[in-house]
Structures are given as structure tokens and as C-alpha cells.
Amino acid sequence: MELNILTVCYLLASVSFIFGLKLLSNPATARRGNSIAAAGMALAIFGTIFLYRDENGNSLHNYGWIFGGLVIGSIIGIFAAKKVKMTAMPEMVSLFNGMGGACAALISIVEFNHLVHGFKEAAYASDGFSFFSNVDKTTLLIILLGLIIGSVSFSGSMIAWGKLNGRIKDFNFKGQHIINNLLIILIFGLAAFILIASPEETVLYFYAIVALSVIYGISFVMPIGGADMPVVISLLNSFTGVAAACGGFLYDNKVMLTGGILVGAAGTLLTILMCKAMNRSLLNVLIGSFGGSANGSAGAAQQGGGAYKEISLSDTAMVMAYANRIMIVPGYGLAVAQAQHVCHELEKTLEAKGVEVKYAIHPVAGRMPGHMNVLLAEADVSYDKLLEMEQANDELKTTDVVLVLGANDVVNPAAKTDPGSPIFGMPILEVEEAKTVIVNKRSMKPGYAGIENQLFFQPKTSMLFGDAKKVLQDLLAEVRNL
């Protein structure tokens, strides 16, 4: 009876994951979807703790350790989520994702050690080889896959976390891709050897795979530039999902398997969509080092520069207050300044004066997929005002004023006009189609991809320098005084 109840718990949890993921596809229902999925996870966890029985009828024990871990993890998670700034949200996602990969890798290590222990015990009974012959090769293969994928996800996510918060810089060297390929060949070569040898003979090789996988995760993320980090985060997220699914297979845990498959599939689809948004293949992202220091310096050298013009706050207020349609393009600079709330106040003030205000969202703006959507949702900006790139580009042709807040590479015309640019071919927000373009930046320094933006030197573009929050506060005051 208890097993049946646990099965029902797992079924309900799996359904909640699927339903919650469906609701996450719409910003208006995303919070509810997240809560439903979280409730399903809680049901699966407590159902396992109190209702699980093994083949001998034994339940779980060591409740002190189990609940100690739950309490500590919950406290850390709650405080981290509540205190994190929007600018640090991508780092937190990478950090938590890395912890998921580490957990999957540890599961594989524990299960392999169980196999080795079982082999040794059987060897003392003089039937060690018969024990090994009965070891399911599929189980051993899943252990190895979970180990490799989880270790790569852990180390890669840690490097992504360090790069996103500025502690780690892009690094590459000649022949790095060849070394990465050799690492992959060596890792899977050792895995193949473990599959055909006895567990006791392969312990050192098993831990060599752990070390090599960690090194590979570091090596393949290190050269990838900042402009590609949304893609890398999505890819690593899918890795963690697949690794978790391997754990679900090992424990014959249906809800863990379902959750891992959903995360892996969603991460993979999101990775494909991110690549499509940049008009690049996944292979090109992984080996191209787009946005890295090498490409960035080359791009900056090729761009040249030009003369730009500044605009005052009073003139900006006048232009915006008497416009019919305004499009705001949020970027990482807006997140850094924590200016989303004052931006929303400016939007409401302009609308009170009869101005139509909308937001143009580029898929890879910010440092993670959906970064700008989450940023503006925090400020209670209406979801109907957030336009995806294709829709925004259609409306930009009839827009009077575009206000670019901290965005750079996603509005750079070089993506369309300069074949020598490292971002050539990437779809952008075509803000130059509007009648007037006002760009708020701290300085004329290049964006995350490291290349100069020719939009800043076009005749219809004016620069409004300063911290986004301070500029928007002063602009809001000017507009209200008109």
C-alpha cells in the first residue's frame, strides 16, 4: 500500500513538473508555474523520505543527516535568492546549476563505489568474477555518463559563474580546441576500458575520468566570450538535466528521471533558440570564442570610430514628452544600475502625457536567457509591453524615439553591414530605423563583445552619458515639469 502511495506521489510530482514548465512559457503565469513545480518537488522529496521501501522492506534511515541537509540547503537557497541582485542573477543560476552537476557526479561516484565493494565481497567468497559478470553493463554505462556529464557541468558552470561576476577572464591559446578533443577521446577511452574490465581494476581510471572531466569543463568554457554566455548557460543547464536523469535511471526513480529529462530537453531547446537568435551554430559558439578578448580587440581595431553628438537631459525630456511612440531597449547597463523601477515610472509618466511606450527585448540581452524579461517583471512592467525582436523590428520603423539603456552589441549595425565583424550575421534590434535614437551609456567603451558600435556615430543618434538610474531619475523629473 505504501509503495502504491509513493507511486502516486511520484506521478503527481511528475505532472506538476510538466504543468509548471508549461506555465513558465508565459510571463503572466511563470510565478504560478514555478510554485506548482516546487510543490511537486517537495511532494517527491518527502514521499521518498517517509514512504520508500527497498526490496527487503527496509525504509530510509539517518533522518538526522537527511533533514540536516534539507534545512541547511533550504536556508542557503532562500537567503541567496532573496539577497541576490538582478545583475547577479546569471551568476546565481550558474552556481546553482553547477551544484546540480556536482550532485549528479557524486551519485555516480557513490554507486561505482558500491559496485567495487560488492565485487570485493564476492571475491572473498571466491565468486568475484561471477559477480562482475552479473553486473548490468547498462547500469555501469549510466554511472559513467552521469559522472562525465555531471563533472563537466559542475566545472563549466563554476567557470561561467566566475566569468559572469568578473573574477575570471576569457582565456585561450593556440591549439586549445585540439587539446579539448584529445581530452574527450581520453575520457571516453577510459570509460570504454572500465566497461570491459573488473571494477576493482578500474578504480584509479574511474577517478582519472573525474579529474579529466573537470579539466575539460574548465577548458571548454574558458575561451568562450561574454556575448555567448547565455548560450553556454543554457547548454550547461541541459547537461545537468541529463546527468540528473542518469541518477533517476540508477535509482529507478521515475520522478527524478522525469525531472532530469525535462530540464535536459528544455535546456537543449533553449540552447538551439539562443543560437538561432544569434544566427550561429552551436559548434560555432563552442569553438568560435565569439566575444572573447582576441576577437574583441580585432573587431575594435577594424571598426575605426567617428564623431558622436551628445544630448542634454532637458532636450531628451522634450523629445520624449512630445513623441507619439517610444521604444525602450533595456540592456545589461540597466540591470547594473538597478534602474528598472525608475524606468517603469518614466514609462507611466510618459503614458500619462499620451505617449505610447513599449520595450524591445533581444533574446540574448543581458547575461542569461530572459534576463531583461525578469528584470522588467520585477518592476511590474506589463508583459504586453515587452516585444520580442521580430515584432519590435516591425514597429521600430514607425517609432519616433528609441531610448537605448545600457544595450550595446544587440543594437550594433555591424552585425548587418560589416562582414569582418565578429558579430556579423547576428540578428539585432534595428533601432536605426526609428526617427530618433538616444543612447544612455556611462562612456564610449565597447560592449561585452569588445567591438565599437557604429550606431553611436550615426546622424540620428545622440548620446546621453551617465549612470542609468541617475539619468532616468533626472529625466523623469524633467518630463514631469513639462
Contact 430, 458 (CB under 8 A): no
Question: Is pLDDT of 361 > 50?
Answer: yes
CB-count exposure of residue 438 (10 Å: 0-12, 13-18, 19+)? buried
Catalytic residue among 170, 252, 384, 409: 409
Q: Are 271 and 241 in contact, with CB atoms under 8 Å apart?
A: no
pLDDT at 57 over 90: no
Does residue 300 carry a pLDDT above 90? no
Cα dist from 116 to 136, 195, 204, 213, whole Å: 13, 13, 12, 21
List C-alpha distances in Å: 191 to 32, 131, 178, 206, 212.
42, 20, 20, 8, 11
Tell me the average pLDDT across 165-171. 79
* pLDDT tier for residue 64 given thresholds of 50, 70 and 90: very high
C-beta contacts of 3-12 below 8 A and 24+ residues apart: 3/51, 3/53, 5/47, 5/51, 6/47, 6/48, 6/51, 6/52, 7/254, 9/43, 9/44, 9/47, 9/51, 9/255, 10/44, 10/47, 10/253, 10/254, 10/255, 11/254, 12/40, 12/43
Grid cell digits, residue 289:
570564442
- Place 158 in a pLDDT band, splitting at 50, 70 and 90: very high
**Catalytic-residue membership of 315:** no
pLDDT value at residue 141:
92
* Mean predicted lDDT score pLDDT of the chain: 85
* Grid coordinates belonging to 97: 546549476
**Taking 90 as the threshold, does the pLDDT of residue 305 lie above it?**
no
Query: Cα separations (Å) of 382 from 290, 320, 331, 363, 403?
Result: 34, 20, 18, 18, 18
- Residue 286 in this model has a pLDDT that exceeds 70: no
Q: Of 36-45, 115-124, 426-435, which has the strongest mean pLDDT?
A: 36-45
Q: How confident is the model over 452-467, as a mean pLDDT?
A: 90
CA torsion, ordered 392, 397, 399, 403, to nearest 10 deg: 60
Residue 406 above 80 pLDDT? yes
pLDDT tens digits, 195-238: 888 766 788 999 999 999 999 999 989 887 666 777 888 889 99
**pLDDT tens-digit readout, 378-387:** 888 988 899 9
Domain 306-481 has CATH 3.60.15.10: no
Domain boundaries, the chain: 1-83, 88-288, 306-481
Q: What confidence score (pLDDT) does residue 437 get?
A: 95
